[in-house]
Amino acid sequence: PFEVLIVGGGPAGAAAAIYAARKGIRTGIAAERFGGQVLDTMAIENFISVSHTEGPKLAAQLEQHVKDYDVDIMNLQKAAKLIPASVEGGYHEVVLENGASLKGRTVILSTGARWRQMGVPGEDEYRNKGVAYCPHCDGPLFKGKRVAVIGGGNSGVEAAIDLAGIVAHVTLIEFDSQLRADAVLQRKLASLPNVRIITSALTTKVEGDGARVTSLSYKDRNQGTEHDVELEGIFVQIGLVPNTEWLKDAVALSPRGEIEIDARGETSQPGIFAAGDCTTVPYKQIVIACGAGSTAALSAFDYLIRLPAA
Ligand code: FAD
């Protein structure tokens, strides 16, 4: 059994593992895919103190840093169920999909999230070649270019406002007949000169020249007509889904399925902590996930040293 058992091997889990191991306590980390979303990223230019890196390179460095310490890394292990300890200070149990089970006196949940995709032809082919999901990450790569934002909820409209200050032109595409973002955001968006809003539009395909995105097609749901928009970038903002389906009965989740945590990273269950994109943390970024993982590990250590001596 572990003193700290971490589930999830992205930036949050890696940071938690390093902070826990540096306290000299028995630490294990189980991950479906070590590296997490970072593996799917190309250019990373906002990991502070590293001007530029690439996802697979950063993922390898995260793993190497964890390996500098005595941490049990269990890669390619998917957790299926969490059974919280029945008594305070007892062991929590994590049941893996393969039937095996792991125990930890504290558990840190860092299973991250995934962007909801449009599911149209060209989206996969041009991911990181014009199709993007994170305006904070990739917005500056499209300076002076034309982009579309797919989705007129709060995140889509926020992204459009953010991007309008960087790129040449933004086309916002919403499936519904009206935007769903807060009125104040909609007013702000409507005041911007380089934004066009298209509602009742179903995105149908992404096209490119093999190397980069060149256009987007949508269908006008009222007229039934097809239209093309020439552009260089497409930001998909139709939802970020936390990987917490397996935790429904174990810890309190927000209405959006995010693990509810306090300022110390503790969940509704004593001794179970969480960090990164799977939680209610307001911004989902690598540097933020690293900070949150460190917080969760320090809180887990704090919890352990307060348990009565056995
Ligand atoms: P994740 O990175 O999602 O890691 C989750 C981990 O949990 C993975 O190891 C996963 O396999 C594992 N896991 C999930 N479910 C289970 C389970 N049931 N059992 C076991 N393991 C499980 N951020 C930036 O700061 N800068 C950028 O430039 C940037 N670009 C991005 C580009 C793209 C295309 C994407 C998708 C994201 C980008 N982000 C960027 C966001 C950033 O990647 C995330 O904020 C960050 O990776 C979150 O870290 P995390 O550890 O919370 O979760």
Mean pLDDT along residues 289-308: 97
Q: Which of 236, 252, 277 is the last residue of a domain?
A: 236
pLDDT higher than 80, residue 46? yes
| Candidate from 111, 234, 244 with most ligand 1 atoms within 8 A of CB, to mutate | 111
- Residue 310's pLDDT band (boundaries 50, 70, 90)? low
What is the pairing mode between strands 272-274 and 201-208? Answer: unpaired
One domain, residues 162 and 265: no
Output the six-digit token pair for 28: 């294990």
**Could you tell me if 248 and 260 are in contact, meaning their C-beta atoms sit under 8 angstroms apart?**
no
Q: Give all strands of the β-sheet with 131-132 in edge-to-edge order.
A: 131-132, 233-236, 146-150, 169-173, 195-198
Which atom of ligand 1 is the closest one to the Cα of 132? 34
DSSP three-state, residue 140? helix
- Nearest residue CA, atom 29 of ligand 1? 137
Report the mean per-residue pLDDT for the chain. Answer: 97
Residue spans of beta strands (DSSP E) within the chain: 2-7, 27-31, 43-44, 53-54, 71-75, 79-83, 92-96, 101-109, 113-115, 131-132, 146-150, 169-173, 195-198, 201-208, 213-220, 226-230, 233-236, 240-242, 272-274
- Nearest residue CA, atom 33 of ligand 1? 41
pLDDT higher than 80, residue 61? yes
pLDDT in tens, 231-263: 999 999 999 999 999 999 999 999 999 999 999
Task: Report CA(302)–ligand 1 centroid distance (Å).
Answer: 26
One domain, residues 95 and 146: no
pLDDT in tens, 136-154: 999 999 999 999 999 999 9
One domain, residues 7 and 110: yes
One domain, residues 292 and 227: no
Q: Which of 214, 236, 258 is the last residue of a domain?
A: 236
291 labeled part of a ligand binding site: no
One domain, residues 230 and 148: yes
pLDDT in tens, 115-144: 999 999 999 999 999 999 999 999 999 999
Which atom of ligand 1 is the closest one to the Cα of 31? 21
pLDDT at position 309, please?
A: 82
DSSP three-state, residue 186? helix
One domain, residues 281 and 200: no
pLDDT at position 118, please?
A: 97
pLDDT at position 42, please?
A: 84
Backbone angles phi, psi at 160, to 5 degrees: -65, -40
- Residue 225's pLDDT band (boundaries 50, 70, 90)? very high
Q: Which of 207, 236, 265 is the last residue of a domain?
A: 236
Cα 160 from Cα 173, distance rounded (Å)? 10
8 labeled part of a ligand binding site: yes
pLDDT higher than 80, residue 71? yes
**Could you tell me if 195 and 170 are in contact, meaning their C-beta atoms sit under 8 angstroms apart?**
yes
What is the model's pTM? Answer: 0.94
Looking up tokens 């459009």, which residue turns up?
A: 160
Of all residues in the chain, the percent with pLDDT exceeding 90 is: 98
Task: Report CA(289)–ligand 1 centroid distance (Å).
Answer: 9
One domain, residues 107 and 129: no
One domain, residues 197 and 260: no
297 labeled part of a ligand binding site: no
One domain, residues 153 and 291: no
pLDDT at position 74, please?
A: 98
pLDDT in tens, 171-206: 999 999 999 999 999 999 999 999 999 999 999 999
**Could you tell me if 105 and 3 are in contact, meaning their C-beta atoms sit under 8 angstroms apart?**
yes
Q: For 50, which DSSP code?
A: B
One domain, residues 108 and 125: no
Q: Is the CB of 8 under 6 A from ligand 1?
A: yes
| Candidate from 39, 243, 278, 287 with most ligand 1 atoms within 8 A of CB, to mutate | 243
Q: Is the CB of 134 under 6 A from ligand 1?
A: yes
Burial of 87-117, coded b for 16+ CB within 10 Å and e otherwise, reads eeeebbbbebeeeeebbbbbbbbbbbbebee
Residue 222's CATH number:
3.50.50.60
Cα 87 from Cα 263, distance rounded (Å)? 24
One domain, residues 57 and 86: yes
Domain count, the chain: 2
Task: Report CA(98)–ligand 1 centroid distance (Å).
Answer: 23
Per the structure, the complete domain to which residue 187 belongs is given by 117-236
pLDDT higher than 80, residue 13? yes
One domain, residues 74 and 136: no
274 labeled part of a ligand binding site: yes
Cα 226 from Cα 174, distance rounded (Å)? 15
Cα 299 from Cα 15, distance rounded (Å)? 13
Residues 6+ apart with CB under 8 A from 36: 8, 9, 10, 11, 13, 59, 112
Mean pLDDT along residues 267-285: 97
Q: Is the CB of 44 under 6 A from ligand 1?
A: yes
pLDDT at position 31, please?
A: 98
